[in-house]
Amino acid sequence: WSKSYCISNWCGGFHNYCKQNLYFPDARPNVIHEKQAALTQQDRATVITQNIDNLYEEAGTKHLVDFHGNLYHVYCEKCHETVPVADYLKSRIHEKDGGSLRPDIVLYDAGISQAAISQSVNAMANADLVVIVGTSMKVYPFAGLLQYANPAAKVLAINQQALNLPVDFTMIQADATKYFAELAVQ
């Protein structure tokens, strides 16, 4: 959905769609989230995710860039106050000022936040290893982050489908969940 469509049709359609299709209260981090979070807790990694589901935060990821935002970060479009996600799930209207509440996610014709871009570029430039997990790396501007990778960094892709990347990389064609389950993090 485009931002303009969502805003012009905000009177419930997008809110109801989000509530019914994007929030999964029983979802829990899997082994991928947990092992990557463990590396960030040791200050050995930064995770840059396209996922908007909050599972990296639930896993305790210390260094995290939510490139496309996060469904669980909700704000009022009128006053810009951050509100608990529970308020949004109850009503799309901010009780305080009557403004529209919305999750802080990137819609199709909206731009990525400057903070997310800066943090991502910085992480890529300082990485000695870039691990790409479970993505086609075809959606821009996310896919373009590879151009900012440290030239000395090794790039490893773990994905069920083979990837075609504009950099030298090692491809592990496997189910990422199974691969991470066998991976030891020290």
Residue 71 tokens, joined:
């469904």
* Given 15, 33, 68, 94, the catalytic residue: 68
Three-class DSSP category at 108: coil
CB-based burial label for 58 (10 Å; 0-12, 13-18, 19+):
middle
Is 68 considered catalytic here?
A: yes
| Triad 75, 8, 140: Cα angle to 5° | 70
Tokens read off for 119: 């943090």
Q: Which of 132, 117, 126, 142 is nearest to 173 (CA)?
A: 132
Active site members? 68
